[in-house]
Amino acid sequence: MSENIEKVECLIIGSGPAGFTAAIYAARADLKPVMYEGLQPGGQLTTTTEIDNFPGYPKGTDGTAMMEDLKKQALRFDTDVRFGMITDIDLSQRPFKTKADDGKVIMAETVIIATGATAKYMGIESEQTYNGYGVSACATCDGFFYKGLDVAVVGGGDTAAEEATYLAKMCRKVYLIHRRDELRASKAMQHKVLNTKNLEVIWDHTTKEITGETEGFSKKVTGATLVNVKTGKEKEIKVDGFFVAIGHKPNTELFKDYLNLDENGYIVTKPDSTSTSVEGVFACGDVQDHIFRQAITAAGTGCMAAIEAERFLSH
């Protein structure tokens, strides 16, 4: 049994921009971090194609390439990156006891949680077929590619309202498709939506199918078939981009019994810090940020988490 117990200074859970940035900083501070990459190595960015807004890539890059670069950088400083999942954790006392799916029991002096959030999707097949090729869950990331074109946004909350108004500034026409006849978004956002000229709300409709064309490896969205929930009548719209904005789910299931979470399940961190409600446990990236959700902000908080872990250990 003892050969399976490992003591580490810093365990990083998750491998998006937050996790890898934490790894780079922790490794350079000689914390010898061990990282478990999780279910989706590289995180949400690996589901997007081009990334044009991460500083340092003047010609842009693609999500998977960027995450490979971040991984190489973390490996250069000897981060122990492991393909696998942490399946169990006890944050009630230090060192924190965790179990991984490779059978290892890890006793960690500090834990950096960078498990991210998962965008919710409607669950129709075509959504996955065109994901990254016209279907996106992030207007700030991908809106630019639809400059002057027509797009649709699904959802009726603040995210959908924000994404639709953001897209309306650069797109020719934006359809906001909502399954009810009133928005869930705040009054201020509703006002913005209803007063944006090139934004049309399609009330009481769900999406039956996203339509598109596939040619070899190239795919593109061309429209969507919508269904009126009251009459059952179908309606076609022509769009070049389709944005799903029906919410995100933070990946906090493993930690919910130990850490303070907000009403939507995000880990609560102290102001100007990545400290959680348990000393020695830090959270960075989308698992604690439902507002910005950008690779660069995730990387920023990953850096903070590693510096805070290092300071915590040296006290």
Residues that bind ligand NDP (CB under 6 A): 122, 154-160, 162, 179-180, 184, 206, 246-247, 264, 290
User: What is the nearest approach in angstroms of ligand NDP to the Cβ of residue 160?
Assistant: 6
171 classed as catalytic = no
Shortest distance, CB of residue 130 to ligand NDP, whole angstroms?
16
- Compute the CA torsion angle 56, 66, 305, 262 (nearest 10 deg): 110
Q: How far is the CB of 174 from ligand NDP (least distance, A)?
A: 16
Whichever of 5 and 188 has its CB closer to ligand NDP, that residue is 188
Closest residue to ligand NDP, judged by C-beta, is 157
Calpha distance 287→33 (Å, rounded): 20
CB nearer to ligand NDP: give 179 or 219.
179
295-313 helix and 17-28 helix, angle to the nearest 10 degrees:
30
| Cβ-based nearer residue to ligand NDP, 150 or 158 | 158
Helix (H) or strand (E) holding 151, with range, is: strand 150-154
Spot the catalytic one: 10, 141, 284, 303.
141
User: In the bound complex, what is the minimum distance in angstroms from residue 223's beta carbon to ligand NDP?
Assistant: 17
3-state secondary structure of 227: strand
10 is annotated as an active-site residue? no
The DSSP code sequence of 53-68 is -STT-TT-EEHHHHHH
Residue 257 annotated among the catalytic residues of the structure:
no
Is 21 or 126 the residue whose CB approaches ligand NDP more closely?
126
State how far the Cα of 19 lies from the Cα of 16, in Å rounded to an integer. 5
User: Which of 10, 78, 142, 289 is labelled catalytic?
Assistant: 142
Burial class (CB in 10 A: 0-12, 13-18, 19+), 230: exposed
- For the stretch 257-293, what's the b/e string if a residue is b when 16 or more beta carbons lie within 10 angstroms of its beta carbon? ebbebeeebbbebeeeebbbebebbbbbbbbbbbeeb
* Owner of token pair 């990953």: 302
Catalytic hit among 138, 171, 284, 303: 138
Q: Which is nearer to ligand NDP, 67 or 138 (CB)?
A: 138
Give 278's contacts (C-beta < 8 A, 6+ positions apart).
91, 258, 259
CB of 118 vs ligand NDP, minimal distance in Å: 12
What amino acid positions are annotated as catalytic residues? Answer: 138, 141-142
